[in-house]
Amino acid sequence: MSSSRVGEAAIERLASVAEQQASRFAQVFRGLDYTDKALAERFGGVEMRGRGGRNMPRLLYQTRQPSPLHTLMRLFLLGVTVSLDDARAAFAPLPVDEWVSAGFVNADAHAVSALVRIYPFDGLLLLMDPPELLEQGTGPDFVSGLTNSTAALMCCSIRTQSRATLDLGTGCGILAFLAARHSERVVATDLNPRALCMALLNARLNGLSNLEFAQGSGFEPVGDQKFDLIVTNPPFILGPGKRYTFRDSGMELDGLCRTLVTQAPEHLEEGGFFQCELEWPNVRGEDWKERLSGWLRGTGCDALVLSTAISTGLEHAEEMAVDTDVCDPEVQAGLFRDAADYLEARGIESVGQGFITMRKRSQGVPNWIQIEETRTEKLEPFSDAVLRVFETHDALAALSLEEVLARRPRLSPGLVYETGREWNGTAWTPVAFRLRQPKGLRLQASLDANMGGLIQRCDGGATLSQILSAMATGLKVDLQTIVPGSVAMLRGMAERGFLNFNQ
């Protein structure tokens, strides 16, 4: 017996699982310590079957001896058919028929196979479509689980207390569930009714009661409601057509993300945040920074744009055809050709990817837009660093020039200072300086010799006025000639997280 796609009948059964019954299913998993922490401690890295599940052979070996926990792992992580007797032992005290009637599994007289995957993550149980179905070819309403883009947005997502949060395009619900931990109320929306069905069941499996669900496109399902936080991992992949709802918007290029960015301020409370992961085209002869800035101007929001990755047009087409679609080589060849032709016809040389964080602010100094380029080698939470950018802009905007000069600038902890030296025939001469953030936003700053010397003096021991006076004396220049440029440079360094201005 092989696993198959959850059809409409099974979806209806999943939707019929009430809170008490969902709690009973969850108790079976948690009673066997089916949690991400416990599985990682006992089995090492645990990934679901699919292209990313390279540990499949190891996990099959590790779960070869029958036990209730091994049976649950084989069924709901690895998608392996198990014997009816093993399923009975794992599902106890609930009968196999109850799991069948709920739409979790299929069963016959000898074997049981899973219709869904149930993945433990951060203390949650997440039900979703089997990821290997993408390899075999599936319908447009496929419900994905914890994708790379979702994991990246989680690292960026602000976790401050929120009265009302919106997860737009919730999928299986992961971002909504994490937001529920710091929100009084969460609204989760999706265009895909199958996704909402699974998200609702996931909320019940995890005992979450402060969530509401609504079907529809964009902001349509929430009407004129306003939120303290809006997060969205929309179908942002640039490409032709609309094969999968979770991946493809069906709109031209980055049109969906542009629409969400421009409409979001209408749904934000004053001081509220909007966070979106997105792709954008780097069109031949155009500046991608100006493209995104054009969306953000006049929105009444401050904005931080982080560019985290870039791929050539062919690399992007390959990712679409090979990494997130069927495994049939002939089908892949056609998908690659269509994607590559689509990008080439529009003069797209490469595709950028990253995040936009906006904060609604209607008073004070004019709204600002800060665009940064960073590259992350591994995923680590950096939402605190994102929040500090906005806090730093606020703090600096409240300071006059005299107040800035009276502050004691101090470099942020953990920075790496690198010096580039050139051999002049007799000695190594410093010619370039660079500051690097190994954590947080992971930004870099290149400095000339004068600015490098200035930065090294920012240890919190002297006021900026004292530092610049000493610098002017050493350079034998008038103090007032270096104050404007130095202050502007240091303010920019503070806004980028390299230093702060203490009292």
Please spell the DSSP secondary structure of 3-56, one letter per residue.
-----HHHHHHHHT--HHHHHHHHHHHHHTT-SHHHHHHHHSS---SSTT-TTH
28 and 114, same domain (yes or no): yes
Residue 232 lies in a domain: yes
Distance CA 348, CA 316 (A): 11
Give yes or no for a contact between 500 and 444, defined as CB atoms under 8 angstroms apart.
no
pLDDT of residue 2 exceeding 50: no
- Share the mean pLDDT of the chain: 93
At 98-154, the pLDDT tens digits run: 999 999 999 999 999 999 999 999 999 999 998 888 888 888 999 998 888 999 999
Residue 48: per-residue pLDDT: 58
* Antiparallel, parallel or unpaired: β 227-232 and 111-114: unpaired
Q: Are residues 83 and 14 in the same domain?
A: yes
Backbone angles phi, psi at 402, to 5 degrees: -65, -40
Return the SS3 of 274: strand
452 plus 385 within the same structural domain = no
pLDDT at 428: 87
Q: Using CA atoms, how far apart are residues 494 and 499, in angstroms rounded to an integer?
A: 5
**374 shares a domain with 347:** yes
pLDDT confidence bin for 85, thresholds 50/70/90: very high
> Which of 36-45, 162-171, 221-230 shows the lowest per-residue confidence on average (mean pLDDT)?
36-45
| 419 lies in some domain | yes
The model's pLDDT over 322-352, given as tens digits with 9 standing for 90+, comes to: 877 888 889 999 999 999 999 999 999 999 9
Nearest CA to 240 out of 101, 345, 87 is that of 345
pLDDT given for residue 5 in this prediction: 58
What is the arithmetic mean of pLDDT over 206-210?
Answer: 97
**205: in domain:** no
Tell me which of 397, 418, 451 is where a domain ends: 397
Residue with more model confidence, 502 or 94: 94
Residues 410 and 336 in one domain: no
What pLDDT was estimated at residue 3?
A: 46
Phi, psi of 283, deg, nearest 5: -80, 140
Q: Is position 142 within any domain?
A: no
Q: Among 379, 362, 322, which Cα is nearest to 52's?
A: 322
User: And the tokens for 491?
Assistant: 């303010």
Q: State how far the Cα of 250 lies from the Cα of 255, in Å rounded to an integer.
A: 9
Q: What is the pLDDT of residues 225-244, one digit of tens each?
A: 999 999 999 999 999 989 99
Cβ 143 vs Cβ 128: under 8 Å: yes
Mark whether 355 and 420 lie in a shared domain: no
Dihedral (C-alpha) 17, 136, 310, 262: value to the nearest 10 degrees? Answer: -40
pLDDT of residue 146: 86
- For residue 191, is it within any domain? no
Residue 181 lies in a domain: no
pLDDT of residue 323: 79
pLDDT at position 300, please?
A: 97
Same domain, 323 and 453: no
Same domain (yes/no): 453, 482: yes
One-letter identity of residue 105: V
**Would you state the structure tokens that stand for residue 39, as one six-digit string?**
């599985």
pLDDT score of 205: 97
Q: Given pLDDT bands bounded at 50, 70 and 90, which one contains residue 50?
A: low
pLDDT (tens digit, 9 = 90+) per residue, 459-491?
A: 999 999 999 999 999 889 999 999 999 999 999
Q: Is residue 2 part of a domain?
A: no
Domain-embedded: residue 154: yes
Minimum mean pLDDT among 14-18, 109-113, 155-159, 405-409: which range?
A: 14-18
- The domain tally of the chain equals 3
Q: Tokens representing 86?
A: 């093993």
pLDDT band at residue 13 using 50, 70 and 90 as cut-offs: confident
| pLDDT interval class at 375 (50, 70, 90) | confident
Check whether residue 316 and residue 414 sit in a common domain. Answer: no
Question: 386 with 491, same domain?
Answer: no
Detail the DSSP E strand segments found in 33-161.
82-83, 105-107, 111-114, 117-121, 124-128
Strands 117-121 and 124-128: antiparallel
Q: Please identify, among 365, 397, 429, the residue that sits at the C-terminal boundary of a domain.
A: 397
Residues 59 and 77 in one domain: yes
HSE (side-chain half, CA atoms, 13 Å) at 156: 31
Mean pLDDT, residues 386-395 taken together: 97
Task: Please report, for the domain that includes residue 416, its CATH number.
Answer: 3.90.930.60
Q: What is the pLDDT of residue 421?
A: 87
User: Which domain covers residue 39, as residue numbers?
Assistant: 8-120
Question: Quick one: pLDDT band at residue 4, thresholds 50, 70, 90?
Answer: low
- Predicted local confidence at residue 110, as pLDDT: 96
pLDDT at 384 exceeding the cut of 80: yes
Domain co-membership, 156 together with 33: no
pLDDT, tens only, 193-203 = 999 999 999 99
Task: Please give the pLDDT value at position 53.
Answer: 61
Whether 251 shows a pLDDT value over 80: the answer reads yes
Q: Given 397, 412, 442, which residue is the final one in a domain?
A: 397
> What percent of the chain is predicted at pLDDT more than 90?
80
